[in-house]
Amino acid sequence: MVERSQEWVTAVPVPPLRPFIERYCGYRLTGFPPALHRGLPSRYMTFIVSIGDDIDVVAQTDPAQSPQHYGCVLSGLQVSSALISHRGDQEGVTVELTPLGSRALFGLPAGALWNMSVEFADVVGPVGRELWERLQGTAGWERRFAVCDTVLGRLAGDREPVPELRFAWETVVASSGEVSVGDLAEESGWSRQHLARRFRSEFGLSPKVAARVVRFERAQRMLRSSPPFVSIAQVAAACGYYDQSHLTRDFVSLAGCTPTALLAGDVPSVQDSSGHDAGSSNHEHHRQDHDNHPLAVSHLP
């Protein structure tokens, strides 16, 4: 029997990219049986560069979009889960791209990619293919992250959402989805209707739905990382849900299954490294690479 192994490596990008990309996560999973995993709604856009096998999306977030294979997949925000098939071994780099970075890197609002997946090169042209090709031939996480810095750095510009929208998005995230739309509108200086219209145009979803996604993301990460004696009801209360039933309804809507069913999946999602790089590994250390990336490396046999 092949032994299962997981490796997760995280690093922050070079300073010019940090306003748009929170970090890179390198992943290598081996020895797992072929299976499906869920691509979950998140405060990040989906941006994953596969090393080796393509990313096989067998069910898109929008049922009208056909299943597709991607070497480097880019998706907007979403309020439902995708299903990704894999053969058991997976390797690649996830880029934790905030929707505030869509204009800066791609010249278009995140809302233009709402609820869809595309090949990265179809958005940015040959540089997208270059990123995929260079990562295929580069060994070592430090060098791979340096490639991401170089290629994505060439795309970065000074385009960004207007300050009111930046403030609104950052406030929703900082509040863990618990800010009210009324308070958000008052603090931004816009009416609720104008804020909702501009927010949806920029990001693809309303402020209320964005808060729901952020709250869901916090809850599912807390459930993954909490010790067994912490109940789902306790997590629901900590994350601002009315009760456990409210949390469960949100999970069924956003993840397509109950919290218990989501946690029962035995193959980690490459979009959620939070439970694998901070305190959950058997071996962990930090170091600095040649571009001053803080790295956290985990090996989970």
Digit-coded pLDDT (tens) for 114-149: 999 999 999 999 999 999 999 999 999 999 999 999
Q: Say how many CA atoms lie within 13 Å of 222 toward its Cβ.
A: 20
Q: In angstroms, rounded to a whole number, what is the distance separating the alpha carbons of residues 169 and 174?
A: 9
CA angle (280 as vertex; 274, 283 as ends), nearest 5: 115
Decide: helix, strand or coil at residue 23: strand
105 vs 1, residue with greater confidence: 105
Decide if pLDDT at 178 tops 90.
yes
282 vs 8, residue with greater confidence: 8
Global confidence as pTM: 0.87
Q: In angstroms, rounded to a whole number, what is the distance separating the alpha carbons of residues 131 and 47?
A: 12
Sign of CA dihedral 107, 110, 112, 118: positive
Q: Mean pLDDT of all residues in the chain?
A: 88
Identify the weakest region by mean pLDDT among 97-106, 167-176, 254-263, 281-290.
281-290
- 87-99 pLDDT tens trace: 888 999 999 999 9
pLDDT band, very low/low/confident/very high, at 34 (cuts 50, 70, 90):
confident
Residue 223 near residue 235 (C-beta atoms within 8 A): yes
Q: Which of 41, 146, 57 is nearest to 93 (CA)?
A: 146
157 vs 23, residue with greater confidence: 23
Residue 84 near residue 56 (C-beta atoms within 8 A): yes
CA angle (72 as vertex; 126, 69 as ends), nearest 5: 115
pLDDT band, very low/low/confident/very high, at 1 (cuts 50, 70, 90):
low
Please report, for the chain, the start and end positions of each structural domain, with discontinuous segments joined by +: 5-159+268-300
Tell me the mean pLDDT in the region 53-69. 95
Strand partners, 73: 48, 119
C-alpha distances out from residue 260 to 3, 219, 220, 244, 245, Å: 26, 12, 10, 12, 13
